[in-house]
Amino acid sequence: MDQDNAPFQIHVHGDIVLRHDVGFDALEAALKPLWKYTGARSLAGGAESFYDSEPGIQFDPQEHVLHICWTLEGDEDFRYQLDEMCMNLNEVSASGAAIEVTFYDASFDEEDEEAGGQSRDDFMILYVGPTPEAIMTAQRDSLVEDMVRLMQRHFDESELTGVIAEVDKLFAGRFHALVDSLRLDRAFGSVGGVSARHQKRRPDRLH
């Protein structure tokens, strides 16, 4: 994409544990939707962030973890690259993980805010993992973390065990429903796939 006058700065953030048999070449292929969008010809060419203070896209071969703290300039069509990236990462990940993506309206400034204008900022969380269960576990962990952070303002963490147990029941019910659905698909010859779920809320502006 031609990034001149791009309407958004887009920040992608997450840590994904990879399978031990996944090497750099496989990772480069999985992340092709990201680096190709920037106009780069390889992961090495597109891994650098728009901001020097951010590490960009990094692969730790010792821990087998993909670290992403990366900003680029782009448009709404970058969402399609994210969908493809998630499907690719499902194939190489070892466990469920959350990836946060924030779209910052590049044309929105302090004067617009003071005038009561509305920015086009958007935020989503994408979940990836090798199985539906792994993805749901990542979703559950994110939700529990957010709940505990919010409710600790009013309650001790030890008082929240009942609330967390109820969340676990909800996810257990959802997982059993998914398992039943996949069994039904197989019974009728359908092939089920693993996909990323999106959660949206308005972000705080960082830049």
Task: List pLDDT tens digits, range 103-127.
Answer: 999 876 555 555 556 677 999 999 9
| 63 and 14 in a common domain | yes
Q: Does the structure show a pLDDT above 50 at 51?
A: yes
Q: Does the structure show a pLDDT above 50 at 199?
A: no
Contacts of 43 (CB under 8 A, 6+ apart): 24, 27, 28, 31, 32, 35, 57
| 117 and 23 in a common domain | yes
| 179 and 86 in a common domain | no
| 153 and 115 in a common domain | no
Domain count, the chain: 2
| 17 and 58 in a common domain | yes
| 142 and 115 in a common domain | no
| 84 and 27 in a common domain | yes
In a domain, 81, yes or no: yes
Q: What is the CA angle 142-82-135, rounded to 5? A: 35
In a domain, 2, yes or no: no
Tell me the residue range of the domain where 48 lies: 8-130+194-201
As a whole number, mean pLDDT of residues 81-110 equals 92
